[in-house]
């Protein structure tokens, strides 16, 4: 039980770090390079969670997807608000006015967050041995020849 709490706590920390890095990468790409990569913040939520988690969890993947969805909406509003009114409540009320590609990219970011965030990374298990028994792919012992 303690191992799962540690794993989920680390996953949350990783998701926050990944989402923050993703937001700044998206901002840099949009402002400095003129590129539009709205799925990046969401995908990095999942990647950050994955890299710091010790066990696989579909529920954690769903939490990553929900967080990525919120971050995608926030990122779009923060960097490309409507000209009529730049308030967040106005943005939420008029999300149906967004371009189709914008909605698709927010959705893809959430899908990537789920897909990547539900799995775990095994590199941390050497520091947290209680997570070793719950890996997705535990190391296999050499087979006798």
**Which token pair is 110?**
């959430």
User: In this predicted model, what pLDDT tens digit does every residue of 36-67 receive, in sequence order?
Assistant: 999 999 999 999 999 998 888 999 999 999 99
**Which token pair is 25?**
């990468």
| Ranges of each domain in the chain | 2-121
Over residues 89-111, mean pLDDT: 95
Over residues 93-110, mean pLDDT: 95
Q: What is the pTM (predicted TM-score) of this model?
A: 0.81
pLDDT of 133 > 50? The answer is no
């Amino acid at each position: 039980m303690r191992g799962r709490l540690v794993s989920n706590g680390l996953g949350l920390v990783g998701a926050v770090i990944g989402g923050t890095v993703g937001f700044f990468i998206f901002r840099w790409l949009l402002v400095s390079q003129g590129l539009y990569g709205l799925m990046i913040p969401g995908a990095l939520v999942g990647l950050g969670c994955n890299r710091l988690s010790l066990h696989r969890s579909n529920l954690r993947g769903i939490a990553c997807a929900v967080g990525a969805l919120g971050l995608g909406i926030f990122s779009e509003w923060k960097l490309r608000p409507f000209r009529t009114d730049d308030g967040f409540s106005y943005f939420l009320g008029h999300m149906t006015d967004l371009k189709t590609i914008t909605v698709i990219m927010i959705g893809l970011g959430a899908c990537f967050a789920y897909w990547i965030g539900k799995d775990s990374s095994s590199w941390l298990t050497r520091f947290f041995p209680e997570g070793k028994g719950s890996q997705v792919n535990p190391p296999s012992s050499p087979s006798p020849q």
